[in-house]
């Protein structure tokens, strides 16, 4: 389902705006087309002028024509949900020149969450997003027309972590777990974790809405809650004296944590651009998995020192979580639909009436796979 990060463990397993062309259009009043005696700028002339401007302007502003006229790299805007060790693959593709070599000029923007990423896609501010599949489903249920066209991480990213005095199910029973918000991916992760521990969600353990991870860590330290979800690497958590109760990223439970997402119109009208993007990102995934030191050196300025020990984070929260080829796992998408279908919110509960295939379009990945785009280059296998 995933790949290892050492060269001798590197295996593949398949898993179930355009640039505005700087074209100036000048219409001379003395040209044959617009030559009329003074004072005779009549209705027909106005209509003709409006028609020509609309036709030419529409052609210039369309994504396809803009890319064709520009002749240079295609400019696109990519939104990543958060600056994590898996989302960082986008910066690698930029820093290593993989985007540029694929004919793309990519602006990478940190959106501050998957929900914000989907809003950026819907508004047209973003061309492609890397975010959670659960947010895609929620957006589409609200009327958006987004599609998951690739899956970089098809597993949970957060762990269930207990305080110093909570090392197992018995100590957690009757306690409380702090979440960023209810109904999100970490809420779903906690339900799965409690299933593994044999504890009833919101029956034997109270679930509290507590905001960002820093606030939850403070609450955990003060004894206000007994456990929280955390994306920190296990080694860092142990140094803090905390206990990893359930290591969900290490489990086989599928979850659409980091999906490639775009508007369906983008996939249909700008397929070549999306193909180029996927090829470049796949190259970055391979480089990230094989070249730890080079990758961490390039990512330092983007991730900073507050993300934990780089080596530990790379090993536990980085490319070892990737799916390659980067196909979305339909089982994870279906699990989200089933989870949302059980929510009290009527709008979200409609998710239970849908199937995963309705939110996934792998046409572009299938075409790339058919021509061998995801095969490992010979030099990487040595």
Which tens digit of pLDDT belongs to each residue from 124-156?
999 999 999 999 999 999 999 999 999 999 999
117 pLDDT more than 80: yes
62 pLDDT more than 70: no
**Total-model pTM:** 0.80
Q: What is the pLDDT of residue 308?
A: 56
Q: What is the pLDDT of residue 198?
A: 96
Cβ neighbours of residue 325 closer than 8 Å, sequence gap 6 or more: 12, 14, 15, 282, 365, 369, 374
276 pLDDT more than 50: yes
For residue 183 the two structure tokens come to 């109904």
Ranges of H-type helices in 198-244: 213-221, 234-239
Count other Cβ atoms within 10 Å, centred on residue 148: 25
Q: What is the pLDDT of residue 20?
A: 31
Find residue 161's DSSP bridge partners.
228, 244
SS3 297: helix
Q: What is the pLDDT of residue 39?
A: 41
E strands of the chain, at which residues? 74-80, 104-110, 128-131, 146-155, 159-162, 176-179, 206-209, 227-230, 243-246, 254-263
Condensed to tens digits (0 to 9), the pLDDT of residues 73-92 reads: 999 999 999 999 999 999 99
Cβ neighbours of residue 242 closer than 8 Å, sequence gap 6 or more: 161, 162, 163, 164, 220, 230
Q: Compute the distance between CA of residue 127 and CA of residue 296 in angstroms, rounded to an integer.
A: 27
Residue at token pair 């690739």:
150
Q: What mean pLDDT comes out for the span 29-47?
A: 38
Nearest to 197 by CA among 179, 171, 232, 230: 171
Q: What integer best gives the mean pLDDT of the chain?
A: 84
Side by side, the strands of the sheet bearing 254-263 are: 104-110, 74-80, 128-131, 254-263, 146-155
Determine which helix (DSSP H) or strand (DSSP E) holds 68, and give its type and residue range: helix 63-70
Q: What mean pLDDT comes out for the span 223-248?
A: 94
Q: Compute the distance between CA of residue 71 and CA of residue 68 in angstroms, rounded to an integer.
A: 6
């Amino acid at each position: 389902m995933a790949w290892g990060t050492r060269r001798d463990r590197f295996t593949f397993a398949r898993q179930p705006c355009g640039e505005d062309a700087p074209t100036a259009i000048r219409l001379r009043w003395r040209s044959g087309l617009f030559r009329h005696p003074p004072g005779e700028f009549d209705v027909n002339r106005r209509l003709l002028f409006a028609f020509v401007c609309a036709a030419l302007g529409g052609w210039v502003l369309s994504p396809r024509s803009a890319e064709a006229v520009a002749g240079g790299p295609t400019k696109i805007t990519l939104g990543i949900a958060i600056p994590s060790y898996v989302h960082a693959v986008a910066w690698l593709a930029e820093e290593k020149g993989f985007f540029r070599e694929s004919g793309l000029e990519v602006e990478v923007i940190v959106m501050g969450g998957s929900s914000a990423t989907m809003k950026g896609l819907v508004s047209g501010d973003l061309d492609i997003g890397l975010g959670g599949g659960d947010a895609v489903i929620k957006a589409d249920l609200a009327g958006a027309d987004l599609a998951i066209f690739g899956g970089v991480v098809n597993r949970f990213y957060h762990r269930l972590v207990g305080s110093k005095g909570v090392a197992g199910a018995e100590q957690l029973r009757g306690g409380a777990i702090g979440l960023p918000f209810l109904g999100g991916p970490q809420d779903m992760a906690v339900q799965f974790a409690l299933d593994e521990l044999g504890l009833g969600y919101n029956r034997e353990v109270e679930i509290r809405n507590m905001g960002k991870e820093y606030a939850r860590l403070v609450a955990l330290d003060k004894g206000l809650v007994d456990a929280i979800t955390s994306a920190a690497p296990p080694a860092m958590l142990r140094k803090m004296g905390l206990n990893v109760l359930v290591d969900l990223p290490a489990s086989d439970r599928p979850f659409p944590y980091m999906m490639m997402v775009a508007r369906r119109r983008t996939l249909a009208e700008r397929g070549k651009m999306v193909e180029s993007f996927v090829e470049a990102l796949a190259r970055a995934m391979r480089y990230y998995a094989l070249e730890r030191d080079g990758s961490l050196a390039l990512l330092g300025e983007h991730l900073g020192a507050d993300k934990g020990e780089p080596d530990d984070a790379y090993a536990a929260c980085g490319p070892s979580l990737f799916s390659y080829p980067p196909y979305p796992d339909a089982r994870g998408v279906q699990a989200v639909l089933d989870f949302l279908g059980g929510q009290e919110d009527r709008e979200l509960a409609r998710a239970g009436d849908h199937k995963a295939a309705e939110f996934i379009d792998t046409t572009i990945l299938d075409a790339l796979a058919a021509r061998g785009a995801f095969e490992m280059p010979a030099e990487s296998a040595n």
